Every structure is written in C-alpha cells, then in structure tokens.
Amino acid sequence: MKELIQSLVETVGPSGHEGRVRNLLEARIGDAAEMRVDRMGNLIALRRRTTEEKGDKIMIAAHMDEIGLIVTHVDEKGFLRFGRIGGVMPATLIGSRVRFVNEAGTPGVIGWEKWLRSTDKPEWKELFIDVGATSQEDSPVNVGDVAVFDRPFETLGQRLVSKAMDDRIGCAVALQTLLEMEDSPNDVYFVFTVQEEVGTRGATVSAFGIEPDAAIAVDVTDTGDTPESQPFPIALGKGPAVKIMDSGMLAHPAIKDWMIQTAEELGIPYQREVLERGSTDARAIQLSRSGVPSGCLSIPCRYIHTPSEVVDLEDVTHSVALLKALVSEPMVI
C-alpha cells in the first residue's frame, strides 16, 4: 500500500479544497463501486449487497481534508500574515515550508519576528510567510489563498512519515477495504468526507443523506510510546485501536464490542482507546437524524497535526483486515 499512501499524502487538500484528493480517489475506485459527489463535496462510493436477503446499511467514513493556513493580509514588503484552518499549532511552524493551493502551487517559508532573539513560544501575530515577494504588487498570493505543509513522503523501516497522514491514511484504509472486499450481505457506503478538521461538516450532511444503520469512522489517534510522553496505552506497531471514548463521543457499546470480538476471532492485534482530547467524524454521524450506532477504528500516529506525522505499515494492513471482516459479514450488534 505504500504507493497508494504516498500518492494520497502528497496530494494537496486542506479543508474546503479537497477536490484533488477526491479526483485521485475516484480514479482509484473506478468501476469497483457506484460513486456520486454530494453538494458538500463528499465522495460517496456504494458497494451494494451481493445477497438477496436485505442487509444493513453500513457507513465507513474517512476524511479527505488536511489542516492548513489561510492568508489574512499581505504587507507592503510582500510578507503574508495568516490564520489557521483546523488545529495548527504555532510551535510546529517556524522554518516550515508550505505550498499554496493556486495554479502555480506557490511555495513559501514560515518565519518568526523574534527568530534567534527570544526563547518565548511564538504567537500567531508574530508569524509570517515569505513567498519571495518584495511588495504587495508582486506577491503571487492574495488574501484568502490557502496553503498546506510541504513535506515529501518518507519511510523509516516499517514506519511511514509525511504530512497529512491525518487522515489520508484513513482514506487509504477505506479505499483498500473497498477494493479487496468480496461478497457482503450489507450495503456498504464508503464516504470520503470534507471539512472534518473544521467541525466534521462533511460527515454531518452525508450521514443525514445516507441514514445508515451503523457507522465506523476511520481516523488517526495519538500514541503514548515516545520518551516521557503522557501515559496513554497506544503504541505504533501493536495494531489499530478500537475507540471507546473521546472528547466528542462515547462509542456505541455494541459497535465497540463487535469490533473487538471480530479482531479477537481473527487474531488481529488491536488496542483500546480512550482519548481525552479530540474527536472524529463518528461524533457527527452518531447524532444524525434520530441517531446512528457509531464507532471508530483508529490508526496510531505520532506527531499529529505537525508537518511529519508517523504511522506503522503493519497497523495499516491490520486495519484493512479488520475493516474488511466487519463489512463483509452480518453486523453483530
């Protein structure tokens, strides 16, 4: 799956500008599913049931968007002031390269007014982007233009490094599951959602339209396996995590138990996740219409929301195996 993952993470697609990622996914899916794009921009790929008996509607959601930056002002020297799209942290930005979502793909470098003159943490008002301009007039970028981190995909043995693992790795897992699954008694809706990083907006409208019987979001989660990290029993290489709770939702007990039971029956390694900060598309899906039993399959990821997020390839392949088993059999809830 490395080639698939690399193509996804290196594609530019901040919240509200997911078109390039969607085009890539559409091309990869091809004739493997019925596809449509809703008014919000979500890509919905349906694999219909292959049995005569009526099964359930299962929604699998992975978000296409990544965090980014948006230009708020161009000063007289051509430097750009900017705001955040999603959970961008100032401490991760100094010296980072960015690439704009414009026709030229304009690159830029983030600077700090106090560079080498202070040990303070940078504040948003002190940061700027240098795109090589010398004035407002020759700036290739305008107010409202958006950018993402510009980092190549790398491998560290079994570990994969890139920007936008959150949540292109979830898209890769969902896509590979769609392509590998065979007969199923369920109508399985693989939904590649927009604008998760700014409020799970794509999942909100797509779940309302599909009205699924159950749903599983596929997203990343933090790890507690780095030096002196806060105690958190999630580590790279020990399998996907079954979410029990995060700050936005309590997973439906039957969905959680179904995922754990399936993993144990198949001998797929898994971890249990209780995340005190952050949430996923499952939060929005759970509250759709009169409610949807929802859970989340989480892929352990180090350094989330930085230019270099790290996942383990075995966790990814085990996630595909578990998700494929879940959608290919009758739901046990």
**Where in the sequence numbering do the catalytic residues fall?**
196
Integer Cα distance of 191 and 174 in angstroms: 9
Q: Can you tell me which residue has the tokens 């959608």?
A: 327
Structure tokens that stand for 301 in this block: 């990821």
Integer Cα distance of 134 and 213 in angstroms: 57
Q: What letter represents residue 102's amino acid?
A: N
- Asked whether 308 and 162 are in contact (CB, 8 A), the reply is yes
Dihedral sign of CA atoms 304, 306, 310, 315 in order: positive
Q: What letter represents residue 228's amino acid?
A: E
Q: Which residues contact 25 (CB under 8 A, 6 or more apart)?
A: 8, 43, 64, 171, 175, 192
Interior/surface letters 252-274, b for 16+ CB within 10 angstroms, e for the rest: beebbebbbebbeeeebebbebe
Structure tokens that stand for 157 in this block: 């043995």
Kind and range of the H or E run holding 221: strand 214-221
Integer Cα distance of 128 and 184 in angstroms: 52
